[in-house]
Structure formats: C-alpha cells, structure tokens
Structure 1
Amino acid sequence: MIARFLENQLRKRWDSGKALVVMGPRQVGKTTLLRKLCDEEGAYLLLNADEIDVRNQLENINLARLRQLIGPNRVVFINEAQRVPNIGLTLKLITDQLPAIRLLVSGSSSFDLANEINEPLTGRKWEFRLYPISWQELVGSIGFLDARRQLETRLLYGFYPEVVTSLGDERAILQQLSSSYLYKDLLTFGGIRRPELLEKLLVALALQLGNEVSYNELSRTLQVDRATVESYVSLLEKAFVIFRLQPFSRNLRNEISSSRKIYFYDNGIRNAILADFKPLSLRADVGALWENFLVSERQKVLHYQQIWAKPYFWRTHQQQEIDYVEEQDGALRAWEFKWNPNAKIRFPKTFTEAYHPSQTEVIHPNNFEEFVGMVPA
C-alpha cells in the first residue's frame, strides 16, 4: 500500500473533537485510508451510504435512533455521505449531541455534500481532499530512480492507485474508471439529462488541454447553449474530474481577464476519454500532457503541504503568455513548462516589469522535482 500524505494530517486532527471530512474522486483510496485509521482504534461502525438501507436509516434520523444505531462504538465512519439526503443535519446531531464519538466522513463529489455540511458543520469539521497518488507519494513508495523510470508511464496512464499498482493492466482499469466511476455521481446527483452531451464535452475539453477554453466555442461545437456548457463544466469540477485556472490580471489593459484554462486531475483519465495511449515519441500533445501533469501535481502539493497560494495563468491579447503563476502573500512566482529541456524561453518583459516576480523558471523533465514538491536527497 502506498503511504498517503493526508494520513498524517488526519492523525493530527484525530482528537480535535470535530468531524474529519475527506472528499475526492472515486477510487483514489479514501475508504482504504479512513478504514486504516479506524482499524487502529479497534471496534468501529462503518456506514456505507452506497447501500440503500444505510441511506434510509441515516436520512432525517433523530437522536434516539442515532444512539441505537451507533451503540457502543466510539468511532463512526460514514462512507459516500453525499448519497444521504440531509446528511449535514445528521452529522451536526452527532458532533453536538455525541461529542465522545470520533466521526469520519467521506464523499466522492461535492454536489450536495459541500452544500449540506458547510452550514450545519460550521466550526465542527476539518475538511480535506484526497487526490490520485501524487508524484511525492510515488517516490516515497518506490524510490526516486524507479519513479523517474516511470515518468513517461505516468504521463500516459496517470496516478489512480489501482493503475499505479497494476503495471501492464492500465488500459483496462482506466477504461473501467472512465466509463463507470467517472460518471456515477454526475448521473446520480448532477441532473444530467444528456449523458452523450457530457461525453462529447469531455472529449472537447481533452482535446483543448493546455489551451484557453471558450464556452461560446464549445457551445457552437456541441450545438447547445452556453449556459448548458457552463453548467456541465461546473458539474465536472464538483465530481473532481477537471479543474479551472483563471487568468491573472491586475494592472494591464491588454491582459486577458475573462478566459480560463481547464485541466484534468489525472492524465490517465484524460487519455482514456480520447482512447489514446500512444507512446510520447509518437504524440503531438506531449507538451499538453506535461503541462497537465505539472499543474495537477502542483495542486496536490499546495493542498497536502497547506500552502495558501492562488494559481493562475497569464496571457495578453498580443499572445504573450506564461503557463503558470502563483500568488502567495502578495508575491508572484511564474513558471513556463517545456518537455524539451533545451527549449529557450524568455519571460515577457510586459509581465516582469509590471509585477516583478520573485521567481521565474522553466520546468522540464530534468528539474521538475522541486516544483512538484520533491527534491532528491
């Protein structure tokens, strides 16, 4: 089992008296991680809300029935809690009326779970995200040299735990993930009436990886209105399939301020959507895969290391651009991503003279470890 960085953060909050809420995509190891913590405590109650009878018991439950359900257990783990209507009030009842209970909650989407728990559990929860395996976690499991040998494999097949631990069977696993688990919560909670449109949108987004995305262009391509495109993109975000980067804009008239870039949380899912696992040497999109890998890994770094930085990209109407910008404590850092280590890059003076970034650097396969949070010893 690959050790997860989130485990230490959860342990630090174990005795906080608050609910520990872990959200993230399906099949990234949330249940495995939380069950490991529960097993160390001995007896515990697992309530899997994927099961209809469990959902029925937890919906609109009162305190007396809740005490009866929990019994002598002092640890309660509610798995896939987003499937329970009014789950926020149930969780509030446990934290307020049964303070001796250690409460762990997992959710595979933020459709209803985030909305339902935020108000009832204000001040009563610690919220975390678990992503697919990170580069740091892979290095910690198999060592730096072996991880480097897998770099091309990871750019193609990504970091879902079962994919990482099943060398040679990646395509079949990703096909199952992308055709089943990927859509489960979307179709259940998202009000998706046209699954075929969702699939076409995903293909369109996969093909535009690393480029600015125009909702108007997507609406024309898919022959639907812009509002539908925006709604479906938002749902894909809430299901932890994709995420957006907004443009950085502060002072300059010619800066783009209303566009966005869309990335996939996992390269393997993106390639599975396109059914394209050609070797990097045969691909025209290797630069986009490299960029998606770096940006998605950076999001893991920021979350797991609790770095409070805002991510952006930067571009002007004159096509000057920087792949990735972070703002932290008022300071800016900027990076360009190039698969070719010998590529010559100059950061636009328009940006550097206006914002005076504290760091500018080109990230390539020979120096990427620090950017994704791991410097070899």
Structure 2
Amino acid sequence: MIDRFLTEKIKAKLFKGKAIILTGARQIGKTTLLKSFFGSDEEVLWLNGDEVDVQELFSTISATRLKAIFGQKKIIVIDEAQRIKDIGLRLKLITDSIPEVQLIATGSSAFELANHINEPLTGRKWEYKMFPISFSEMVQHHGLLEEKRLIPHRLVYGYYPDVIVNQGNEVELLKQLSDSYLYKDILAWEQIQKPDKLLKLLQALAFQVGSQVSFNELGQLCGLDSKTVEKYIVLLEQTYVIFRLSSFSRNLRNELKNSKKIYFYDNGIRNAVIANFNQIENRADVGALWENFVVSERIKFLNYSDKWVNYWYWRTKEQKEIDWVEEANGQLTAFEFKWSALAKAKLPQLFLKTYPNSQFKVISKENIDEFLL
C-alpha cells in the first residue's frame, strides 16, 4: 500500500475538539486513507452523502436523534458530505452537541462543501486538501531512482491511485474516471445545461496547458459567452480538475498583470480529455506535459510540506516569459521547466534588471528531485 503524507497529519488531529475536513477530487483515495487507520473499527460510523437516505437523515436532524444514531460510536465519517444540504450547520450541530465524538467529513467538490462550512465551522475545524498521489509519495514508496525512471509513464497516465496500481489498464481506467466521476458534481449542479459545451471547454483548456487563456477566445471555440466560460472554469477548479496560475507583476508597465494560465491537477485526466495516450516519444506536446506535471507536483509538495510561499508565472507584452516565479521570505526565485537537461534556458535580462536579487534555476527530469522533494 502506498502511504499518503496526510495520514500522520490527520492522525495527530484526532480528538482535539475540532472537526476534520478532507477535500479532493473523487477517486483519489480519501476514503482509502481514512480506512487505512480506522479499518473496520467498531467505534467508527461511516455515512455516505451520495446515498439518498443519508441526505434525508440530515435534512431535519436534531442533536437528540443524532446521539441515538451514533450510539457508542466515537468517530463519525461522512463521505461526500457536499451532497448533504446545509452541511455546515449539520456539522456544527454535531461538534457543539456531541463534543466527545470525532467528526470527519470528506468532499469532492469545494463549491458546496467549502461555501457551506466556513462560517458555521469557524474555529471548529481542521481542513486538508488531498491530491492524486504525488511524485514525493511515490519516491517514499519505492525510491527516487525507480520513480524518476517512471516519469515518462506519469506524464501520460498521471497519478490517480487506481491507475498506478493497475499497470496495463491505465487507458481503460482513465476513460472511466473522466466519464463517470470527473463531471459528476458539476453536472449535478442544476445550472449546468450543456454538458457537451463543458467537455469542449475542457478539451480547449487541455490543448492550451501552459499558455495564457482568454475567456473570450475559449468562448468562441466552445460556443459559450465569456461569463459562462468563467463560471465553468470556477466550477472545474472547485471540483479539483484544474487550477489557475496568475501572472506576477510589480514594477514594469509592460508586465502582464491580470493574465492566467490553467493547468490540470493530473496529467492522466488531461490526456483522457483529449483522448491522447501516445507515449512521449511520439508526441508534439511533451513540453506542455512536462510543464503541467512539474507545476501540479510543486503545488502538491508545497501543500503537503506546509511551505508558505507565493507563486506565479511572469510574462511581458513582448512575450518575455518565465514558467514559475516563487517568493519565500522576501526572496524571489525564477524557474524554467525543460524536459531535456540539454535545452538551453536563461533568465530574461529584463526580469533580472527589474528584480536584481532574484535567483534562477532550470528544472529538468534530471534534477526534478531538487524541486519536488
């Protein structure tokens, strides 16, 4: 079994008087993680928010009835809690009325769960975001050399747990993931009337990984207005399919100040969206695959290691660009991502002149451990 970094963090917060909220995409191992240290423990009550009777149970629940339902259970796990109406108020009721119980709620879509828990659970919760398995978790599992050898495989198939443990069935599993789970929470939202347009938008985003995106241009490609494009992108972010990277600007007039790039949390899902599982030796988009991989893995690393940094990309109107700019403790470091260590890269002189104390590093597959471990 592949150990997940969040396991020990969550264990350390048990019975500390607060609810534990675990969010992340469907099928990335949230329930598996919890069962790894609870198992079939008789003191644990598992409830699934996808089930109608569980949703109905919480619709008009009282503290007295909750105590009767929980009985002698010490740990209450509510899976897919975003499916339960007014979940924040229900969780608050449990934490306030039954403080001896450890409450854990998981969710696969932030647009319901986060919006409905933040105010009711202020000061009453620990929150953790979970991602597909990370490069660093796999290094811990079977060593750095082995995982670096598998990077070409990861660029194509990604890091979803089922995909990793079922070698030879990657394409079938990714098709199932993208068809059955990827859009489930979004399409359940009543205002999504055109799922075909949503898929077109995702495909357009997949083809533009690592490039600036324009809502107007995306709308023209997909047959949607720019406001609907932005709304769909927000929903895709909140269901942990994609994320945005903002541009860095402080001093120059010609720095792009409000532009965005969009990346996928998982390379395998990105490739499933465009139905391209060719190996990297036969692909023209290896640069985009590498950039998406490195950026998403850095996001995982920063989250799991509790490093407090700001990050952006940088570009000017004259198309001078840096893939990743990071600021930690007042120090700026610029990074360029190159699949081959032989590819030449240098820091744009304009950036160096404007931010003279900044550092510069090139990240390739040969030195990826310096960036992700």
Q: Quick check: 1:111–1:189 contact (8 Å CA) kept in 2? A: no
| 1:252-263 matches, cutoff 5 A | 252-263=252-263
Q: CA deviation at 1:41?
A: 5.7
Counterpart of 2:17 in structure 1 is 17
2:290 aligns with 290
Counterpart in the other structure of 2:136: 136
* Partner residue in 2 for 1:186: 186
Identity of aligned residues (%): 51
TM-score (norm 2): 0.98
Deviation of 1:97 after TM superposition, in Å, equals 1.2
Equivalences for residues 294-313 of structure 1 within 5 A: 294-313=294-313
Structure 1 position 109, deviation (Å): 0.7
Asked if the contact 1:211/1:261 (under 8 Å) is kept, the reply is yes
Secondary structure at the residue paired with 1:2? coil
1:49–1:79 contact (8 Å) kept in structure 2: yes
Give the distance between the partners of 2:349 and 2:40, measured in 1 at CA: 56
Match of 1:70 in 2: 70
Ranges in structure 1 where 5+ consecutive residues have no aligned partner: none
1:215-264 deviation line (CA, Å, top 9, x unaligned): 11111222221101000000100010000000001111000012100000
Query: What is the root-mean-square deviation in Å for CA atoms of aligned residues?
Result: 1.2
Q: Distance in 1 between matches of 2:269 and 2:290?
A: 14
Check whether the contact 1:174–1:268 (CA below 8 A) recurs between aligned residues: yes
Q: In 2, Cα distance between the equivalents of 1:190 and 1:163?
A: 31
Q: d(CA) in 1 for partners of 2:334 and 2:66?
A: 52
Structure 2 unaligned segments of length 5 or more: list them. Answer: none
Q: 1:43-85 CA deviation, whole Å, 9 max, x = no partner?
A: 2111111111011101231111111111111110011000000
CA distance in 2, matches of 1:197, 1:222: 6
Choose 133-142 or 33-42, whichever is displaced more: 33-42
Determine if contact 1:60/1:90 at 8 Å carries over to the other structure.
no
Instruction: State the 1:161 CA deviation.
Output: 0.2
Q: What SS does the aligned partner of 1:120 have? A: coil
Partner of 1:34, secondary structure, is helix
* One-letter code aligned to 2:23: M
Instruction: Tell me the TM-score normalised to structure 1 length.
Output: 0.97
CA contact (8 A) 2:352 2:358 kept: no
Deviation at 1:271, TM superposition (A): 0.4
Displacement, 1:171? 0.1
Inter-partner Cα distance in structure 1 for 2:169 and 2:123 = 44
Give runs of ≥4 in structure 1 deviating > 6 Å: none
Shift of 1:273: 0.7
Deviation string, structure 1 residues 283-314 (Cα, Å, up to 9, x no partner): 11000000000000000011100111122000
Shift of 1:89: 0.7
The alignment status of 1:314 with 2:314, answered yes or no, reads yes
- Counterparts of 1:26 and 1:68, CA distance in 2: 31
**Counterpart position of 2:111:** 111
Partner of 1:236: 236
1:45 corresponds to which letter in structure 2?
A: L
Would the aligned equivalents of 1:28 and 1:160 in 2 still touch at CA under 8 Å? yes
* Cα distance in 1, alignment partners of residues 322 and 135 from structure 2: 23
Q: Name the CA distance, whole Å, in 2 between partners of 1:314 and 1:190.
A: 37
**Counterpart secondary structure, 1:240:** coil
Q: Distance in 2 between matches of 1:52 and 1:217?
A: 40
For residues 213 and 133 of structure 1, the distance between their equivalents in structure 2, rounded to whole angstroms, comes to: 27
Contact 2:197/2:223, CA 8 A, preserved across alignment = no
Distance 1:222 1:150, change over 3 A: same
Name the counterpart of 1:368: 368
Q: Distance in 2 between matches of 1:59 and 1:138?
A: 41
Whether 1:328 and 2:337 are equivalent positions in the alignment is no
Larger mean CA deviation between 104-113 and 327-336 belongs to 327-336
Q: CA 1:292–1:110 in 2, change beyond 3 Å: closer, same or farther?
A: same
Q: Which moved more, 1:291-300 or 1:216-225?
A: 216-225
Q: Distance in 2 between matches of 1:329 and 1:176?
A: 43
2:176 is matched with which residue? 176
- The answer to whether the 8 A contact 1:21-1:104 is kept is yes
Q: Quote the Cα distance in structure 2 between the aligned partners of 1:344 and 1:309.
A: 27
Distance 2:43 2:63 in 1: 21
Aligned to 2:82: 82
How far apart, in 2, do the equivalents of 1:250 and 1:338 lie? 26
**For 1:140-289, what aligned pairs fall within 5 Å after superposition?**
140-189=140-189, 191-289=191-289
Task: Give the partner amino acid of 1:223.
Answer: G
Is residue 2:95 matched to residue 1:95?
A: yes
Given residue 174 of structure 2, which amino acid in structure 1 is its aligned partner?
Answer: L
Structure 2 Cα separation of the partners of residues 135 and 290 of structure 1: 13
Q: Distance in 2 between matches of 1:259 and 1:60?
A: 45
- Paired with 2:190 and 2:147, the residues of 1 have a C-alpha distance of 37
**Range with bigger deviation, 234-243 or 327-336:** 327-336
1:7 counterpart residue number? 7
The 3-state SS of whatever aligns with 2:263 is strand
* CA displacement at 1:148 relative to structure 2: 1.8
Seen in structure 2, the aligned counterparts of structure 1 residues 41 and 326 have a Cα distance that, compared at 3 Å, is: farther
